[in-house]
A and B are shown apart, each in its own frame.
Chain A
Amino acid sequence: MARKIIKSKYFVEEDFVEVLAEVPAGGSSPLPTNQEMKVIGRPVTRLDGYDKVSGTARYTFDINLPHLAHARTLRSPYAHARITAIDAREAAKMPGVLGIIHYQNVDQIPWYGSSFLFDPHLRYVGDEVACVAAETEAAASAALKRIKVEYEELPFVVDAAAAMKQNAPAIHEGGNIQGGKPAVYARGDFDAGLAEADVVVEETFTTQVEVHNPTEVHCSVVNWEGDRLTVWDSTQAIFSVRDTVAQSLGLPASQVRVIKRYMGGGFGSKLTTGKYTVMAALLAQRIGRPVRITLDREEMNLAVGNRPDSVQKLTVAAKKDGTLSAMSHWSYGAVGAYPSGAACSWPLRTIYQCPNVKTEEYSVFINAGPGRPFRAPGHVQGTFALESILDDVAEKLAMDPLEFRRKNHATIDQVMNLPYTSKKLLEAYDAGAKAIGWDRRRKVPGADKGRYQRGLGFASQIWWGAGTPPAGCILKLNRDGSVRLIAGTQDIGTGTYTVMAQVAAEILEIPIERIQVNLGDTAVGPYCPLSGGSLTTPSVTPAVADAALQMKEKLLSAAAAILEVPQGELVYQRGEVRHTGDTSKKKTIVEILREMREQTLLTYGARNANPEGYAINSFGAQFAEVEVDTLTGHVKVIKVVAAHDIGRAVNRLTLENQFHGGILQGIGFALMEERVIDPQTGKVLTVNLHDYKMPTIMDMPEIEVIIVSEADTKISNVGAKGVGEPAMIPTPGAIANAIYNAIGVRLHSLPMTPDKILMALAQKG
């Protein structure tokens, strides 16, 4: 099959990325619609379901090797300090201790740009001080307490507003504003737009720091064989872990192999290579034994990422007829002690039609754990603020909120000035409004009189999730006629094993049980993108389709040789090649393979390039119904309807998992989750799953998921857009608007906890 190398651009998490990729030269032809499919689009149960319910599934956390040593990390007890002396001699003599590393006995390995793996300048409670390997975890933990460290405490700041002030303690040279200046964007003439408006609303919103807290903690197991290193890691990005580990240790990347089989969630926190992985590799090298390193739940809440908080000042101006004439967004957020991103204005810039827009955003260093991408970075907090203020503008215009959004529907991407490959947001409005019963919405907010007051609200969503090349997939036919599918992507729990197998099963017309999928191994699979940014399904499934279509061709060619007939007279159907005229002439896959050598039929499929001249985005609208207990301030989410345009739905069951989970995380962000830091000491107060409030089964509302889209044939043969992040983006905004509709008073601060609800009700009088 003809190929070419191209430059391709895609958006992942917070930035545009340009990559070179080999892609099919002829582009891609769309597969048939889901109605014509037997496996794609069907609610196929997970291939790994029984592995998981039976406890057979082995996660990185479960990897065990002979002679395995266990590592634990000593972390800074201070928000800001400098190590003046460190003495590990006594700790080293403790029973079972095998090795200790810290800044004095390890080369300076660059980390976070301007810092190091072990940096004597400590910038948050939880920053790495030393790492101990021992016979057991308990022995390693005991040794940590005997490492004598002298700290010089430094002034600290744990609040972004304070950190931006002139005389604030400097966390890095060059000040506390990341990059030294804000990120700005402008189009049109904001002031002119403001001047022609009939209604102008200005409001400030705040959102909290949210912590990922996946169920499986971050962990690695490392093993040296000579100068080659194998790393089992709980990661969303095997290739970037390989590259970072190799670079940190001064090894060629080919000498590092990263493996990830099953993983207990990531949500963005496992996109970044952990210091712990490199520390384990260094210890393993020194002690000559494999090392397992795990974080405990407290470390999970300190050191492996979070969603930065935000203070967002929005101005929205509209004309009497409901058209938006100007919008501005000014915001800052705390990225923690090391570089990350707190920007959150993307939704405001793109989702609604508005000619005059300006944004200015500051990412601010504070003495706290660094941020990392968290399920739709920026978009969740940005959408909450935007959709809240838009409801307030609609009320001033005496317009229905949904009508107001319809009026300002954007048909092109206004930042890049490009048409969308597809945009079915209006269809999502219609389907969602019907399902929730939008006409039941109280016309007057806070109309209910009793203790329990109900309301309806909604919010829209935009996200990237187009997928990207390079993404490769190898198919091999086994002698028994089964298929082995190999790719360098990773299933982070979402169902990638299953959706990839579905595509191969559909095209080769064989039962899905006969497809074995091997993912998550840098030594084996062709490169695929990291699993974040809702990239995975749209990137990797087209490569599977490409490989499977080529395999069909090879089977036809093989059968022609065996049957001694021209290939043109043969057709492929249900795992069998048949002659169109002579029905006695046929060969099944198994028969063809029996006459050929083992695994000689092999194809490589590649993801096509994204189309030139288009923006590719997913869209959706979520509608929430809530009930507010005005006596206790408790908010109960009754129902959420999620109506989305995500291109082709490949598997209804795994898709619903993503929506249910995303909406629940949205509920957590809207109503309860919050990392709390004591401003007096700089210590995080919410370091366990009791104090850090995550939604439980008691909080789950009724959910209805409606997919309004078919395959987006402009993107790829499969035509899927990602769903992981879209599922969460609009939920907090929809809940906030529903709460306003219920009680008639606007909350500007997440999470909308009972105390804030009661305070708001009291102010309303």
Chain B
Amino acid sequence: MEGTFRINGRHELLEFSERATLLQVLRDNGHQEVKEGCAEGQCGSCLVLLDGRLVNSCQVFAAAAVNREITTVQGLGTIHAPHAIQEALVEVGAVQCGFCTPGMVMAAYYLLRHHPDPSEKEIRRALDGNLCRCTGYTKIIEGIRLAARRMRQA
């Protein structure tokens, strides 16, 4: 199959098999910033925005994402121009091995877009689908609160 995807603002014409997931197609085409932790929709490492909605990209057929808007973590900010959430996570030390981090950033972004001033409980609820095995979450909560504060002031 072939289809056009709008990925981080750019149109990309990609080939894929009909059973391929969005995650596979993204990763096979250089978007390795989208991580795969389980491929079963249980860890949140592969979160992307699909037309503004947060989805586990391993749970979406690529065919269903044709002609739609996909945002990966690099669409939010890059190493040269990081997003406020990315900056805050680095500053407070919320990153350890970093494998779950792109997914965490996406979940945090989705939360803050809809709730610019979340309580700690709301942050926890919003990130409950993102598994981290090594950092212990505390600094991630701290980083998201810091980012929220800065984004409200900006």
Contacts and interface: CB of A to CB of B under 8 A. Distances in A.
Nearest to A64: B32
B79 A51 contact: yes
Given A61-B36, A694-B131, A664 B136 contact: yes
A689 B42 contact: yes
B133 interface: yes
Contact of B134 (A43, A61, A138, A265): A265
B93 interface: yes
A689 B127 CA distance: 16
A55 B136 contact: no
B136 A267 contact: no
Contacts of B140: 697
A661 B96 contact: yes
A420 interface: no
Contact of B72 (A51, A55, A217, A660): A55
Nearest to A298: B40
Interface stretch (A82-90, A152-160, A490-498): A490-498
Given A57-B98, A215-B131, A694-B131, A660 B43 contact: no
A700 interface: yes
B71 to A, nearest CB: 12
Nearest to A57: B98
A683 to B, nearest CB: 18
**Interface centre among A57, A58, A217, by most B CB within 10 Å?**
A57
Contacts of A493: 96-99, 134
A59 interface: yes
A297 B38 contact: yes
Contacts of A660: 135-139
B101 A52 contact: yes
A43 B89 CA distance: 14
Interface string A661-702: 111110000000000000000000000111000101110101
B54 to A, nearest CB: 15
B82 A54 contact: yes
Contacts of A214: 97, 99, 133-134
A54 B27 CA distance: 15
A50 B40 contact: no
Given A264-B98, A265-B134, A54 B124 contact: no
Interface string A479-497: 0000000000000111100
Interface in B21-36: 27, 32-36
Contacts of A263: 97
Contacts of B134: 214-215, 265, 267, 493, 657, 661
B50 to A, nearest CB: 17
Contacts of B86: 50, 53-54
A348 B143 CA distance: 40
**Interface centre among A55, A267, A493, by most B CB within 10 Å?**
A55
A48 interface: yes
A700 B33 CA distance: 27
Contacts of A56: 33, 78-79
Given A656-B139, A697-B128, A215 B33 contact: no
A690 to B, nearest CB: 5
A45 B130 CA distance: 23
Nearest to A694: B131
Interface string B82-104: 10011101110101111111100
Contact of A297 (B27, B40, B78): B40
A46 B94 CA distance: 10
A62 interface: yes
Contacts of A213: 133
A280 B121 CA distance: 46
Nearest to B136: A660
Interface in B18-68: 19, 27, 32-40, 42-43, 45
B7 interface: no
A632 B85 CA distance: 37
A654 interface: yes
Interface residues of A, number: 56
A688 B133 contact: no
Nearest to B104: A53
Contacts of B102: 53, 55
Nearest to B32: A62
A214 B134 CA distance: 8
Interface string A639-660: 0000000000000011011011
A262 interface: yes
A664 B141 CA distance: 15
A262 to B, nearest CB: 7
Contact of B97 (A55, A264, A653, A688): A264
B73 A54 contact: yes
Nearest to A213: B133
B119 interface: no
**Interface centre among B33, B90, B124, B128, by most A CB within 10 Å?**
B90
A168 interface: no
Contact of A264 (B34, B99, B137): B99
B96 A494 contact: yes
A661 B136 contact: yes
B77 interface: yes
B49 to A, nearest CB: 14
A216 interface: yes
Contacts of A57: 98
Contact of B135 (A59, A492, A661): A661
A130 B127 CA distance: 39
B148 interface: no
B97 A296 contact: no
A703 interface: yes
A611 interface: no
Nearest to B127: A697
Contacts of A696: 128, 130-131, 137
B145 to A, nearest CB: 13
B37 A54 contact: no
B4 interface: no
Nearest to B33: A55
Contacts of B32: 55, 58, 62, 64
A697 B137 contact: yes
7 contacts: A45-B90, A50-B82, A55-B35, A138-B19, A214-B134, A264-B98, A653-B93
Interface of B: 17, 19, 27, 32-40, 42-43, 45, 72-74, 77-79, 82, 85-87, 89-91, 93, 95-102, 105, 123-125, 127-128, 130-141
Closest 9 CB pairs of A and B: A55-B33, A493-B97, A660-B136, A264-B99, A52-B98, A653-B93, A49-B90, A53-B86, A689-B42
Given A53-B105, A493-B134, 12 more contacts: A50-B86, A50-B90, A53-B77, A53-B87, A54-B73, A55-B35, A262-B98, A264-B99, A662-B136, A664-B136, A689-B43, A702-B138
